[in-house]
Amino acid sequence: MRKIIEKVDLVDIAAGLFRMKGYSATSIDDIAKACGLTKGSLYHHFSGKEELAVAALEQVHQFYRDTIFAIIRDSDDPGVQELEAFNLAVERFFTDHPHGCLLANLSLEIGGSFELFSPKIKRFFEDWLDCYMVVFSRYFPPEEARHRAQDAVAIVQGCILMNRIWRNISPLRRQHARLLEACTATTLS
């Protein structure tokens, strides 16, 4: 069995297990075994499952900031083209990670009251919401843009959940197409 040395690899493997099995059903022993380590070696890097889960949440969020949210955030004037690239990046991510959104899964499993995870989960979804807001604000009045952004995050996450259940990314693609159509319809009016 290959020994995992890099902390980032440990976190990636743990994130995958949390996505697939859930936080509660994933033991430190499961993670150590998947990493090719002893539990003692894993405890050398992390004090326990909670610390490892926090690292997984932060690592996934950072990945999104750097590769997906950046598509909109790094644009001078994000519009339909950036939204389309953003959508494609989300679709690629969930095609590669069919067990769903780690942050949404964890939120559903433990609820929003777990103080260690809750602020991190909220911040992730606030960043996602902000990306939609930036684009939608270009096409809609502020209040409507905010409502559309909230609805988009909710519906997209529902599509991601359905992909986890049925292994079918098509509903997510259809929702993304609707988001693009809504923006382009306002530019044609």
Question: Domains, the chain, ranges and CATH?
Answer: 57-188 (1.10.357.10)
Assess contact for 118 and 126: CB atoms under 8 A: no
Residues 111-142 have pLDDT tens digits of 766 788 999 999 999 999 999 999 999 999 99
* Residues 69-98, mean pLDDT to the nearest whole number: 97
Assess contact for 172 and 160: CB atoms under 8 A: yes
Assess contact for 33 and 8: CB atoms under 8 A: no
What does the pLDDT read at residue 112? 62
What does the pLDDT read at residue 76? 96
Q: Which two tokens stand for residue 2?
A: 């290959």
Compute the chain's Rg from CA coordinates: 18
* pTM given for the model: 0.93
13-27, 103-117, 126-140: the lowest-pLDDT one? 103-117
